[in-house]
Amino acid sequence: MTIIDQEENLYWSDDIISSLQSIIVKGNYSEVFALCDKNTYQHCFPKLETIFKLENVMVVLDGEKNKDLAATHFIWQKLLEIQADRSCLLVNIGGGMITDLGGFSASVFKRGINFVNIPTTLLAIIDASVGGKTAINFEGVKNVIGSFSKPEATIINPGFLNTLNERQLKSGFAEMLKHALLSGGEMYERLFHPEFFFSLINGKDIVSSIRFKAEIVKTDFTEQGIRRQLNIGHSLGHAFESYFMDKQSSLLHGEAVAAGLLAECYLSSLHDELPNVYLEIIAPAVKQLFHWQTIPEEHFAEIIRFINQDKKNTHSTLQFALIRKPGEWFMSNTVKESEIFQTLEWMNDTLKE
Ligand SMILES: NC(=O)c1ccc[n+]([C@@H]2O[C@H](COP(=O)([O-])OP(=O)(O)OC[C@H]3O[C@@H](n4cnc5c(N)ncnc54)[C@H](O)[C@@H]3O)[C@@H](O)[C@H]2O)c1
């Protein structure tokens, strides 16, 4: 097991069983529980099953819709039934849905039990399992109930990605693009190169992306300052995700972020900050990742309604993380509803097939 970031408890491991075992031994836990969704139970859990007692394994339905209070209830009920005490450990084996759900459930059960993340999607590896944010969705609003709570360890084994489909890999790559845009420099030059395609990513790209986020969250764990840059793409991204959630063409989280990133780059250019030339580089990189469904103009107000629920807003003003150029971001509280309408029109136009 090699250390990616000691302070953030991030490890890279080619031998997942012995790495998890060493953490369990070190923690001297009373019991060890596993949380999977039905897909990670099928594809990922078999690599770890010798560690767990059969009755200590919890399996929930997969998908964003199930990152909810009902699943949280199921986990708490199961932990109570098995008489889990405060010295037990919950191991979250899955994508961001599972690391968010398991992390949140663990963070408040008996005022907090320890948990370990074993991320099994690219998105969870480079983003969701890094930085100690946990959450569930409530009343159709994304991540509105949650906590800041650090895992005992996040163990990364890219071997889990072998069973992930292309759409999910692209969804994770969207968050890597976000990190690259915010970081600027080498990461930006490589990932936004016109000949770079998501399938070219390697272990070094993954570690750079993780370290970029880890460095930020280390200085600003509870998002009072520089961590807010990581929300770029998310104000509109979450609104797109919520809007499409109940439609036939629902978006994956990373797809929504990719769309949000492009939309917020356009907003940045509307504010005379990001030069237009960057839109010509960013748009094709984002377009390779998902298929945009046109949002009818009569639904634009619905997007605004979702943006108004954004956790970042304060004193009734919309707060957006925007960008001046790769590597230079800023917070804006001057985005107007009319500019969001204009952005949605631009998105419909730019991303149509
Ligand atoms: N806490 C944070 O900082 C943070 C950051 C970014 C995203 N998130 C959250 O992460 C979630 C999205 O995460 P995600 O994209 O990983 O989605 P996900 O967890 O829903 O996983 C996507 C799908 O892939 C399946 N899957 C997972 N691993 C697999 C594997 N190895 N092989 C085959 N199938 C596999 C899952 O069952 C699911 O159907 C969202 O809820 C988002 O809000 C949280």
Q: How far is the CA of 112 from the centre of ligand 1 (A)?
A: 23
User: Which one is catalytic: 175, 241, 255, 264?
Assistant: 175
193 noted as active-site residue: no
The Cα 155–Cα 345 span in angstroms is 42
Instruction: Give the per-residue pLDDT at 250.
Output: 87
Task: Give the distance (Å) from ligand 1 centre to CA of residue 132.
Answer: 15
Could you identify the atom of ligand 1 that is nearest to the CA of residue 254?
15
The residue-averaged pLDDT of 148-160 equals 97
238 is catalytic: yes
| DSSP codes, 205-256 | HHHHHHHHHHHHHHH-TT-SSGGGGGGTTHHHHHHHHHHHHTSTTPPPHHHH
The predicted model gives 21-39 an average pLDDT of 97
Strand arrangement, sheet containing 153-156: 2-5, 10-12, 153-156, 114-119, 89-94, 32-37, 57-60
Give the atom of ligand 1 at the shortest distance from the alpha carbon of 160: 31
* Pocket of ligand 1, beta carbon within 6 A: 37, 39-40, 43-44, 62-64, 67, 94-98, 100, 120-121, 123-124, 127-128, 131, 133, 143, 160, 163-164, 168, 171, 252-254
pLDDT of residue 313: 63
Residue 145 confidence (pLDDT) = 96
Tens digits of per-residue pLDDT, 315-352? Answer: 668 889 999 999 999 999 999 999 999 999 999 999 98
Catalytic residue among 31, 64, 223, 264: 223
Q: Which residue carries 């961590």 as its tokens? A: 227
Contacts of 150 (CB under 8 A, 6+ apart): 8, 9, 132
Q: Is 218 an active-site residue? A: no
48 DSSP assignment: T
- Tell me the CA–centroid distance for residue 311 and ligand 1, in Å: 21
Q: Please give the number of the atom of ligand 1 that sits closest to the Cα of 142.
A: 43
Do the Cβ atoms of 114 and 90 come closer than 8 Å? yes
pLDDT exceeds cutoff 90 at 49: yes
Confidence label for 142 from pLDDT (cuts 50, 70 and 90)? confident
- Which of 253, 257, 261, 290 to probe ligand 1 with, by most ligand atoms within 8 A of CB? 253
234 among known catalytic residues: yes
Arithmetic mean of pLDDT, 255-259: 96
Report, as an integer, the average pLDDT of 156-162: 96
Query: Average pLDDT in the 63-85 region?
Result: 96
Report pLDDT digits (tens) over 166-183: 999 999 999 999 999 999
pLDDT digits (tens, 9 = 90+) for 269-323: 999 999 999 999 999 999 999 999 999 999 999 999 989 876 666 666 888 999 9
Residue 54's pLDDT band, with cuts at 50, 70 and 90, is: very high
Active-site residue identified among 142, 179, 211, 213: 213
Q: Which of these ranges, 56-60, 108-112, 246-250, 266-270, has the smallest mean pLDDT? A: 246-250
123: pLDDT strictly greater than 80: yes
SS3 323: strand
CATH numbers and ranges of domains, the chain: 2-163 (3.40.50.1970), 177-350 (1.20.1090.10)
* pLDDT (0 to 100) of residue 246: 73
Residue with tokens 């954004």: 310
